[in-house]
Structure formats: structure tokens, C-alpha cells
Amino acid sequence: MNLQEYIKEYYGNVDWWFVSEVCQRQHIDRINHIMDIKQYLDGERPRETTLTQIEGKWVKQTNIKLNFASILLDHNVSFLMKNPVTLICGDDEETLKQYQMVYKKGRFKRVDTKLYENMKMCGQAFEYLYFDEKENIQSKLLLPECSYPVYTDTGNYVCYINHYLTNNYIEYYTIYYPDIVEEYSSISGKVKFVSSSVNYSGLPISYRLPKKSNPLEGKSDVEDWKSIIDNMERLSSKYQDALYKFITGIPVMTGSKLSITKDGKGAISQDVIGYVLQLEEGSEFKFEQNKTDYQSMKLMHDTLFNYLLIASCVPAVSMNAQDVSNLSETSIRMMYQLAILKSGVDSQNLMDGFVIRWEQIRKMLESSKIIVNGEMDCEFQMEIPQNDQEVIDNLVKLRSISGISFDTMLGKNPYVNDVSGEKERIEKEEDTDSLNLDNVDTETDTTDTTSEVDTNATAIE
């Protein structure tokens, strides 16, 4: 089933079919779910407003908010995307240069980070490639809460709708067909056609962390953390309420008060400043306090925190939850093993979108009379703790025995991100040094010749 058949089957070939499409139940549920996740990350989440009585006064229960979800999200994104993605094309150097130029002019390194952040946060992200005014290829990130991909019953991706509502209650629609892009708006109160342009790249690229039940939809990692964080917030809030409620204690007195005779014997002197409690011998006065079981609270909190680290694949050492003073570098790398495995799966999901992006870039370059034939690939450099000095020493030893190529050595260098660019700069420096050396040799030869001429002239005289 193609797009025309889809429109005919479900909307009877009406012109404004996209207005009904964005109102479908599956789209509304997905958009609402995405907005809930973003509000949760911003700390805008509802809490119970139950009242409790403390010292005779009714007060609201404490609602502690822990911003762990945002911190874990930043850690996951930085671990995989802090270092730029390295482009690779082993069979065609010219293809690699063209793609690197596109990435540089379009600032795709920043785009990759935002794409991965949206994937982790909302489960799905969309990217559209286009030509700017200077005919450079640019990337536009489409917000997940404004995205309405259209799939047929057989799972074919046939169209994309970008729809949003302004504060003035004006609706805007941008329909991405495989060959054209159409824009509509409701400024006049009715949906009307605004403009149309050529689509040089194709449909927006979909990046997702697929659900097990529905691969066409994405699953947010925040959902795996949310229930654990909610329980940690509830535990901390209730413990604080219990601490404030029972910290004063209840006064308890046993025995009887000391009796005072008619002549005033046994009474407290009026010269005493403050309060004095006078009891008979054997009497007792004390404050009874509720013994808070803080050890059980700490155990529960630490257990939940450990569950959270496992669910987010974040090493405890990264959250200052483990002492690393006596650990070797190998032991620390083992702590990051779970994070490496998780990032490896995420990188494969990113690669699914990158393959489509590279093909669209190839298509757009061909429309600009630039032909590229090489097969593109990339390499992710995860932010794993390592001893840079040890890595460099190993590279030098391997290079000295011809056990590694120059390009591979640059690629493994912890201080080099752009291998081809660094290689070009090294070659330019070598050419400059060679040219300077030739000039020095020429000057030396000229000096020697002049000396010989002077010597001959002296001999003649």
C-alpha cells in the first residue's frame, strides 16, 4: 500500500486528509506521553497534597523532588556522543572528503548529539536534510511532540506531518512527501494552502529506540527510571515528615510533685530566673521520643539507588557512589562494561538512521553535480576512562616495529578526533619543513660558490 492508496482507503481522497490524520488516537496518545516525559524532566510533576498534623497544626506533606532523571540522561548522552563521530570510507578518499565537508558546513556533530538526546528522552527523533541559501546541506531537527509519521498497514513509511499549535491557537501543518514539501495554516480560521517547495532529500529520517511490542514506535529510557525515582522521592519525603513530627517528643513525669507547706517551705525561690520543675525524691521527668529507624531508611534508599544505576547503566563511580582510591584502571574499565554494552546497542540504532542520511546526502550531492561512490561508515568514541600516556606509548612501540599503519595510529590517538584533517595538517607541515630545508641547502651552496670565487680572485692577484 502506497500513500495514495492509504489516503483513498481511510480518508476518501479528501484534500485536507492530514487534519484528520493528526487527530488519530495513536498519535494523540504518543504526543501526550512525550509531553509528560518532558514535564517530568523539568520537575513539573504532580504530587499528593495530603495534610498532616504537626504540633497541632495542619500542614502539607513534604514533596522532595530528585532531578536524577535529567542527570542520568546527560550522562548517557555524553558517554556516547561527547567525542565526535569519526567518519570512515576506506575505498574512496574523495568521498570521505566530500562528506566531511558536508558535516563541517552543516555542523552535524552538534546535530548528532541532539538526535541521540531526543532518542533517549522521547524514544524517537526526526531529521530533515535541505539546501540553505548558499546551497550547503543543512540538517533540521524536528521536535518529537510535533511529529506525525504516517505508516501504512504493512509498515511502509510513506509520509511525514509536522503539526503544532501556537499560543494564538493558529495551527500550522508541514507535509513532507517524497518529492515535495507543502505548508498549510489556519490563520484565516480555515486550513489553507500556503506554499510548496521541492524536496531534494526525501522523507525525514526516523531515529528510534524501538519497542519490543511495536518496532515502529520508540521507547524512552526515562520510563525505566521514573518508577524508581518516584519511590526514592516518596521515601525521602515521608522520612523528613516523620523527623519533624516526632523530633520534639512527649513530656512524661512519674511520681508526684514536691508539696509546699503553709509557711512556704519547699517552694521555689522567686529569685530564680526561668522554669524549675521540683519533684519529690524518687520521681522522674523525661521526654519520650519516637525512635526513628534511620538505618532501615538508609538501606532502602541505597537499594533503590543501586537499582537506578543498574536501570540507567551508569557506573556507581560516575555518581560518586563508590570509592576508587585503590582501584586500577582495568578495574574502573570493568565498572563501565554495562554502560559500554548499552551504548553499543544505541549506536546501532543511530547507525540505522545514519545509513539513510548518507544516502540522502549522496543524492543531494549528485543534484549539485558532485558524484561520490564510496561506502560510508563511522566509529563512535565512548568516553571511557583511560591512561592516555600508556596508550600513546603502546602506539609508538607498534609503529616502530611496523605493527600498525599511520592512519590507524592517528585514529587510536586519544588527542585526535578528525583523522583525515590531522593527516592533512601533518603532510602540510612535512612539506613546509622540506621546503625550508631545501632553501637552507641552496643558501649554503651559494655561499660556498661565492667563497670559491673570492679565493680564485685572490690567487690571480
CB 442 within 8 A of CB 450: no
The answer on 130 and 96 residing in a single domain is yes
Residue 97 domain-assigned (yes or no): yes
The answer on 196 and 64 residing in a single domain is yes
Domain range spanning residue 217? 3-221
The answer on 123 and 37 residing in a single domain is yes
Each residue of 395-404: pLDDT tens digit? 888 888 888 8
Each residue of 116-133: pLDDT tens digit? 999 999 999 999 999 998
Q: What three-state secondary structure class fits 25?
A: helix
Residue 386 domain-assigned (yes or no): no
Residue 357 domain-assigned (yes or no): no
C-alpha 248, offset from chain centre: 46
Residue 110 domain-assigned (yes or no): yes
Residue 371 domain-assigned (yes or no): no
The answer on 231 and 213 residing in a single domain is no
Each residue of 259-303: pLDDT tens digit? 677 776 666 666 666 666 777 777 787 877 777 777 888 888 889
Domain tally, the chain:
2
Supply φ then ψ for residue 429, to 5 degrees. -65, -40
**Bridge pairing between strands 157-165 and 147-151:** antiparallel
CB 218 within 8 A of CB 123: yes
The answer on 242 and 162 residing in a single domain is no
- Give the residue with greater pLDDT, 448 vs 255: 255
Residue 135 domain-assigned (yes or no): yes
Distinct helix (H) and strand (E) counts, the chain: 13, 14
Give the mean model confidence (pLDDT) for residues 312-325. Answer: 75
Which grid coordinates belong to 412? 587510536
The answer on 37 and 120 residing in a single domain is yes
Each residue of 38-97: pLDDT tens digit? 999 988 766 556 666 666 677 777 788 888 999 999 999 999 998 888 888 877 888 988
The answer on 292 and 185 residing in a single domain is no
Q: Which residues contact 240 (CB under 8 A, 6 or more apart)?
A: 62, 64
The answer on 90 and 49 residing in a single domain is yes
Residue 137: which pLDDT band, with cuts at 50, 70 and 90? Answer: very high
* Cα→Cα distances 171→129, 166, 168, 326, Å: 24, 7, 9, 60
Residue 392 domain-assigned (yes or no): no
Each residue of 3-47: pLDDT tens digit? 888 899 888 888 889 999 999 999 999 999 999 999 999 887 665
- Write down the H helix ranges in 313-376: 329-335, 337-367
The answer on 212 and 232 residing in a single domain is no
The answer on 85 and 158 residing in a single domain is yes
pLDDT at 407: 79
pLDDT at 202: 92
Each residue of 188-245: pLDDT tens digit? 888 999 999 999 999 999 999 999 888 888 999 999 999 999 999 888 888 887 777 7
Residue 268 domain-assigned (yes or no): no
* Nearest residue to 349 via CA among 222, 218, 225: 218
The answer on 141 and 29 residing in a single domain is yes
* Cα→Cα distances 94→88, 297, 402, Å: 12, 62, 27
The answer on 209 and 247 residing in a single domain is no
